[in-house]
């Protein structure tokens, strides 16, 4: 167990990138022009998600061959995933975003770096310079001009390469993005789709009329946008002076937390790795940032997969955002002096709360108020998505990771290394709070 801070590593700030070509890839065959409905969950997620997938040199797949293969694969894949070649647009009559499936294409850049993978250093550590490995849309690009997904293949002087993917979150949640990559790998190998995507987002449409049946303390009604404009994304840019550190939890650390959770636990308590890690992070972050408010109620948010919880269940291959925020809540006093098992229990209850009716109530609430989930801590987990397990013709990635967007409200969990049962937690806080978090992180772990 340990932590890696910005001061502990010398991070390369310039990856010496040269972009050689920028192209648009179109579907190989004509696709039907249509408007694609986006659910109220999708509506709140109009922001970019960026991932990077690193590969070592493969003599049978030099980067040039990978580029050719990937382009040809995308041309075919944009038939079952036709919406990816479309553009977001705001429908003023419906007052909501939708996807114009107009075959405008996806962005595809080819670049090279003057460095080797070895010179870049630790790929697991979230280096802000990795932004250079992903297409960055110009700030002047309008909504209906922006590609919904883009790719950048960057070769390194060692023969290795990276594939950077940037997609608008309205297109995929983590589960469906993982399925997309598996389909990409399958088509690239000349095989059929691994999973047939299910693209009908109407399955998560709000009821008519909306019927809110729960209080939804995890949701807040933000100021509505002016009529005729899309709602603001839930991911806000933060301008305060923040630093980030990566806190590593080994398999042994997680086992230790599970042992603590058993003390005073109720029969049937789900002592999972995610639950105990989330409870530990929640406790440390809230106590590090709250000042003398022992009776204040605090909450933690985390994504719950709706696919098996709806009635009838959603198709496993549903491509949209089929996740809602579960929450656990307790007081700051309980976080500090209460049994660890009570915190884990609060998180388990948050997952169990997400029934079919509760999920429909959330979506109806979104139809009425167009607000967002809010909590003291939001845990975004990339831990079990299996992005590094996707088997491409040129091999599996040596590492796959999200490109970090530091935000004081969000803690990101991601794999510490391929094949390991441990996890990294990226925490972003002001300096003074970070020092307190670090002390508490070690205190409550032992």
CA distance 437 to 443: 10
- The ranges assigned to domains in the chain are 8-204, 230-445
CB of 14 closer than 8 Å to CB of 131: no
Helix (H, G, I), strand (E, B) or coil at 347: helix
**What is the pLDDT, as a whole number, of residue 253?**
96
- Dihedrals phi, psi of 255, to nearest 5 degrees: -60, -40
Structure tokens at 72: 């040809």
**What is the pLDDT, as a whole number, of residue 124?**
84
CA distance 387 to 377: 25
Query: Nearest CA to 416 among 366, 368, 382, 367?
Result: 382
Residue 260, H or E segment: helix 251-262
CA distance 190 to 203: 32
**What is the pLDDT, as a whole number, of residue 3?**
62
DSSP state of 323: E
- Dihedrals phi, psi of 291, to nearest 5 degrees: -115, 105
Structure tokens at 311: 């009635």
Q: Residue 22 forms beta bridges with which residues?
A: 109
Query: Nearest CA to 86 among 22, 31, 142?
Result: 31
Decide whether 8-204 matches 230-445 in CATH topology: yes
Q: Report the half-sphere exposure of 295 (CA within 13 A, side-chain side).
A: 0
- Dihedrals phi, psi of 415, to nearest 5 degrees: -60, 145
Give the count of beta carbons closer than 10 Å to the beta carbon of residue 329.
Answer: 17
Query: Nearest CA to 5 among 243, 242, 238, 240?
Result: 243
DSSP state of 389: G
User: For the domain 8-204, what is the CATH superfamily, name and number?
Assistant: Chloramphenicol acetyltransferase-like domain (3.30.559.10)
pLDDT in tens, the chain (446 residues): 556 544 445 678 899 999 999 999 999 999 999 999 999 999 999 999 999 999 999 999 999 999 999 999 999 999 999 999 999 999 999 999 999 999 999 999 999 999 999 999 888 888 889 999 999 877 788 888 999 999 999 999 999 999 999 999 999 999 999 999 999 999 999 999 999 999 999 999 999 999 999 999 999 986 655 555 666 555 554 556 888 899 999 999 999 999 999 998 887 888 999 999 999 999 999 999 987 778 899 999 999 999 999 999 999 999 999 999 999 999 999 999 999 999 999 999 999 999 999 999 999 999 999 888 999 999 999 999 999 999 999 999 999 988 877 778 899 999 886 567 899 999 999 999 999 999 999 999 98
Q: Using one digit for the tens of pLDDT, what is the confidence trace for 136-161? A: 877 788 888 999 999 999 999 999 99
Structure tokens at 404: 């970090």
Scored b (16 or more CB within 10 A) or e, 341-380 reads: bbbbbbbbebbeebeeebbbbbbbbbbebbbbbbbbbbbb
Cβ-proximal residues to 243 (8 Å cutoff; 6+ apart), any chain: 5, 6, 428, 429, 430, 431, 434
DSSP state of 204: G
CA-to-CA separations, 92 to 48, 84, 347, in angstroms, rounded: 23, 22, 39
Structure tokens at 314: 């959603």
Structure tokens at 284: 């440390």
> What one-character-per-residue DSSP string does 94-134 give?
TTEEEEEE----EEEEEEEESS-HHHH--SSS--GGGGGGS
pTM over 0.85: yes
CB of 86 closer than 8 Å to CB of 100: yes
Look up the CATH number of domain 230-445: 3.30.559.10
């Amino acid at each position: 167990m340990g932590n890696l801070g910005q001061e502990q590593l010398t991070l390369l700030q310039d990856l010496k990138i040269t972009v050689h070509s920028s192209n648009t890839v179109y579907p190989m065959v004509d696709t039907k022009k249509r408007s694609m409905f986006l659910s109220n969950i999708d509506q709140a997620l109009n922001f970019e998600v960026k991932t990077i997938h690193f590969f070592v040199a493969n003599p049978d797949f030099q980067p040039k061959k990978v580029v050719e293969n990937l382009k040809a694969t995308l041309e075919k894949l944009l038939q079952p995933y036709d919406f990816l070649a479309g553009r977001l647009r705001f429908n003023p009559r419906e007052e909501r975003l939708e996807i114009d499936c107009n075959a405008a294409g996806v962005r595809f850049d080819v670049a090279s770096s003057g460095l080797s993978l070895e010179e870049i250093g630790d790929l697991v550590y979230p280096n802000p310079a990795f932004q250079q490995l992903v297409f960055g849309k110009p700030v002047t690009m309008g909504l209906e001009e922006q590609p919904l997904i883009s790719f950048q293949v960057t070769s390194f002087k060692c023969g290795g390469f990276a594939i950077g993917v940037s997609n608008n979150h309205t297109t995929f949640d983590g589960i469906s993005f993982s399925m997309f990559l598996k389909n990409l790998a399958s088509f690239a190998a000349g095989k059929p789709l691994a999973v047939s995507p299910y693209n009908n987002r109407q399955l998560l449409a709000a009821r008519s009329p909306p019927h809110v049946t729960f209080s939804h303390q995890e949701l807040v009604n933000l100021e509505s946008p002016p009529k005729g404009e899309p709602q603001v994304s839930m991911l806000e840019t933060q301008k305060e002076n923040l630093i980030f550190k990566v806190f590593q939890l080994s398999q042994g650390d997680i086992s230790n937390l599970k042992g603590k959770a058993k003390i005073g636990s109720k029969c049937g308590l789900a002592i999972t790795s995610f639950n105990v890690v989330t409870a530990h992070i929640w406790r440390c972050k809230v106590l590090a940032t709250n000042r003398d408010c022992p009776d204040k109620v605090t909450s933690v948010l985390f994504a719950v997969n709706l696919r098996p919880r709806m009635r009838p269940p959603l198709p496993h291959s549903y491509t949209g955002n089929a996740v809602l925020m579960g929450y656990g809540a307790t007081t700051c006093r309980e976080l500090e002096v209460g049994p660890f098992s009570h915190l884990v229990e609060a998180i388990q209850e948050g997952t169990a709360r997400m029934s079919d009716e509760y999920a429909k109530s959330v979506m109806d609430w979104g139809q009425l108020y167009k607000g967002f989930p809010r909590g003291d801590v939001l845990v975004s987990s990339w831990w079990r998505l299996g992005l590094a397990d996707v088997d491409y013709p040129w091999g599996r990635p040596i590492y796959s990771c999200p490109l970090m967007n530091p935000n004081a409200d969000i803690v990101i969990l991601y794999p510490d290394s391929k094949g390991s049962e441990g996890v990294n937690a990226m925490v972003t806080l002001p300096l003074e709070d970070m020092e307190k978090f670090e002390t508490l992180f070690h205190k409550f772990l032992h």
